[in-house]
Structure 1
Amino acid sequence: MTSDRRISPIALPATRARRVVEQLLEGSGVALNGSAPQDIHVYHPDVFSRVLHQGTLGLGEAYMDGWWECESIDDMACRLLRHGLGERAHNRSERLMYRLQSGFFNLQSRARAYIVGEAHYDLGNDLFQRMLDPTMCYSCGYWKQADTLHAAQVAKLELACRKLDLRPGMRVLDIGCGWGSFAEHAAGRHGVEVVGLTISREQARLARQRCEGLPVDIRLEDYRDHAGRNDYDRIVSIGMFEHVGHRNYETFFHSVERHLEEDGLFLLHTIGSNTSDISADPWINKYIFPNGILPSAMHIARASESHLLIEDWQNFGPDYDHTLMAWLANFDAHWHEVAHRYNERTRRMFRYYLSVCAGAFRSRDLQLWQIVFSRGRRMRYDAPR
């Protein structure tokens, strides 16, 4: 979606800040005020110094403020990340501050667990209903044989059910159930009973409506507060582990082990980081997912090894690119229906978020993993695809 501005990008003097930005962009395929879809069109003279001083936070906030525009932010982000600007966009003091905070404080403690629900997931069911597909899945679809967002999301849910080998009458715990996508699918199509946990009041309200009449119990509850032992045949967590935090990874897997029956299976569906650095993008952390952090393969393996056995690990990260672009298309097509409840800055915030994340997956800077665990009591596990 192009800018609706009717003025041309301003003619800017060759300031030192601009020259530095131009040098950083050199060879990336992204130009200033060029004609290609991925080129950046500047509308405010201070955008260069803002970006140089604040990194990705300054870049995102400048876009929200209308200081620059780009026809294809996803392509821009992909090219910049492939050019190696992802690491250079975060200064040392910024990284140090996050590490100090996460080192001294548990940013995802019980007391802070509901912050992301209130800040993002509770923003408005009307907005998410227009952005997502009818399943209300807010996680990566599986596009292997799908050509629409809805088909990809149904395929993802069914893939998870097949990997869990669901059978009628089983009890399933859904940690981070969102708007009830998996619970509705698994209970309705596979005849299982589901207990779903979410830290979002709005998600819980809509999930209960969507699952009405099914053997589904939606609870506004943190996973650490869920009582019981060996009380579930299967456990699933789709798109929630990103909010757990590195200080709580082992607590999370201990909780899964405690609730899973001896011969049970657990499926974890999560975005993954290529590195084990403890850091977070400051713009995403401030505006989209407060206190979120992406796990690495090493984080998951180390935290789970004394609790569960890894049976299968599948990566379909490129599918998140397709998913995010489909969400962006829905968002643009239906924004006019909810615009009266939100402001222009919110619109630009969502467009930037969806586009930049699509570019990150396209560049393979981020991954999407589905991992199946057992308690090591099974004779054999064969993963479906």
Structure 2
Amino acid sequence: MGSNQQDIVEAPVLARRRHLLDEALAGAGVRINGDRPWDLQLHREEALDEILARGSLGLGETYMLGDWDVQALDQFFCRILRADLTRLVRPWRNALRLLRSYVVNLQSRHRAFEVGERHYDLGNDFYQAMLDPRMVYSCGYWRAGAETLEQAQEAKLDLICRKLGLEPGMRLLDIGCGWGSLVSYAAQHYGVECVGVTVSREQQAWIHQQYPDLPISVHLQDYRSLDLKFDRIASVGMFEHVGHRNHRTFMKVAKRCLKPDGLLLLHTIGKNQRHSATDPWIERYIFPNGELPSAGQIGDAADRLLVTEDLHNFGSDYDHTLMAWHTNFEQHWDQFADRYGQRFYRMWRYYLLSCAGAFRARHIQLWQWMFSDRVEGGVDRVS
């Protein structure tokens, strides 16, 4: 077959009909099959219809299947979120998901351990490879002059300890203590006795193994069963699992557990809009039953229970943190490829880089709230 005849046969295959997503993505400065790092490279035409019909869930699932690629996923997501392309998701889908979250308590006691089993118990060696030496799985504090992930995380831990005014002899409760980064740092550097609670068996085992000689005890339990007194309470990266139906309950538990004049530091990712649904892809594949709070919801939850003393937003630092985690993940992936497989690799890469783009676009935030137990005469007391 001559070259001209071959070109005629291949032309219909190479031609691609314009799609509604072409125009939408163009509004974000993204081209399908373009040559820039943030352009979408399409491998299966039908994926465009699935993305348009199913929004975020379709976008993530078609990526996991290998239907499309982007060289710089973080830049891609920053652009589409800044352009508010999420409006393409059919409103009724979000309406149904919002209704479900108001009718069903997705973060009830019997669901509390699901996120631990499905996410945090993936393997301590996996997280050890991705995180810093202290295994901090929350936003680092880079603006203090940190140059490495380890420095940024230690700066964040020290910032928390200083905000809480920790002194030797105090008792600190860490609600959602992760792999013990804060309690170990506080015990070592500030001489406090620490109690941590977690819903992850792997995290509990790690802390027992790593810090046998520190004044730390860690319990596998739901936060709602806490009923001991502490000078200070911290919760770092756990409130995202509480859910709006339980925000008030969380604050009541904190009130119940604080000594007079005690302080609570709440470190949480937050959303900009009160009435917005959890990203369906993140909920299905990364954090089951997760729900980001809004600033208004947190304020409502603390009303007449605790006094807001300070609110600190350093959400842009999460972009830097997630990119550092992604670098570590890529560098160590060969150790885990046989265990987790290619689908997991694409899922995890999508998770880390889409979240980095979301923080870069200021689509989501990172807050540290400081509360004091100084409310007197409140009518809604802890039961």
TM value normalised by structure 1: 0.92
Q: Distance in 2 between matches of 1:283 and 1:60?
A: 6
Structure-to-structure mapping, 1:113-128, within 5 angstroms: 113-128=112-127
3-state SS of paired residue (1:267): strand
Q: Which letter does structure 2 place at the counterpart of 1:110?
A: R
RMSD over equivalenced CA pairs, Å: 1.4
Asked if 2 retains the 8 angstrom alpha-carbon contact of 1:269 and 1:369, the reply is yes
Q: Distance in 2 between matches of 1:130 and 1:339?
A: 13
Change (3 A) 1:260 1:223: same
Tell me how far 1:45 sits from its aligned partner: 1.8
Structure-to-structure mapping, 1:37-116, within 5 angstroms: 37-86=37-86, 88-116=87-115
Asked if 2 retains the 8 angstrom alpha-carbon contact of 1:180 and 1:208, the reply is no
Q: After superposition, what is the alpha-carbon deviation per residue over 1:13-60, rounded to whole angstroms, capped at 9, x for unaligned?
A: 544xx4201011123111111111001101112110110111111111
Q: Distance in 1 between matches of 2:51 and 2:38?
A: 17
3-state SS of paired residue (2:310): strand
2:96 is the alignment partner of 1:129: no
Q: How many residues align?
A: 364
Q: After superposition, what is the alpha-carbon deviation per residue over 1:248-305, rounded to whole angstroms, capped at 9, x for unaligned?
A: 0000000000000011111000001111014110100000001111111100111101
Tell me how far 1:93 sits from its aligned partner: 2.5
Q: Distance in 1 between matches of 2:296 and 2:44?
A: 43
Q: Distance in 2 between matches of 1:25 and 1:190?
A: 51
Q: Which letter does structure 2 place at the counterpart of 1:120?
A: H
Structure-to-structure mapping, 1:171-182, within 5 angstroms: 171-182=171-182
Aligned to 1:142: 141
2:303 is the alignment partner of 1:308: no
Q: Distance in 2 between matches of 1:311 and 1:141?
A: 22
Q: Which letter does structure 2 place at the counterpart of 1:306?
A: R
Aligned to 2:316: 318
Aligned to 2:348: 350
2:265 is the alignment partner of 1:267: yes
Q: Which letter does structure 2 place at the counterpart of 1:113?
A: A
Structure-to-structure mapping, 1:155-170, within 5 angstroms: 155-170=155-170
Q: Distance in 2 between matches of 1:376 and 1:179?
A: 31
Q: Distance in 1 between matches of 2:354 and 2:103?
A: 30
Structure-to-structure mapping, 1:195-234, within 5 angstroms: 195-228=195-228, 231-234=229-232
Change (3 A) 1:311 1:12: farther
Asked if 1 retains the 8 angstrom alpha-carbon contact of 2:227 and 2:253, the reply is no
Residue segments in structure 2 that go unaligned for 5+ positions in a row: 1-11, 377-383
Asked if 2 retains the 8 angstrom alpha-carbon contact of 1:183 and 1:211, the reply is no
3-state SS of paired residue (1:342): helix
Q: Which letter does structure 2 place at the counterpart of 1:292?
A: G
Asked if 1 retains the 8 angstrom alpha-carbon contact of 2:233 and 2:264, the reply is yes
Q: Distance in 1 between matches of 2:190 and 2:340?
A: 39
Structure 1 window deviating more from structure 2 (26-35 vs 239-248): it is 26-35
Tell me how far 1:339 sits from its aligned partner: 1.6
1:361 is aligned, of 359, 362, 379, to 359
Q: Which letter does structure 1 place at the counterpart of 2:232?
A: R
Q: Which has the larger radius of gyration?
A: 2
Tell me how far 1:12 sits from its aligned partner: 5.6
TM value normalised by structure 2: 0.93
Q: Which letter does structure 2 place at the counterpart of 1:174?
A: D
Tell me how far 1:189 sits from its aligned partner: 1.0
Q: Which letter does structure 2 place at the counterpart of 1:185?
A: Y
Aligned to 2:7: none
Q: Which letter does structure 1 place at the counterpart of 2:134?
A: T
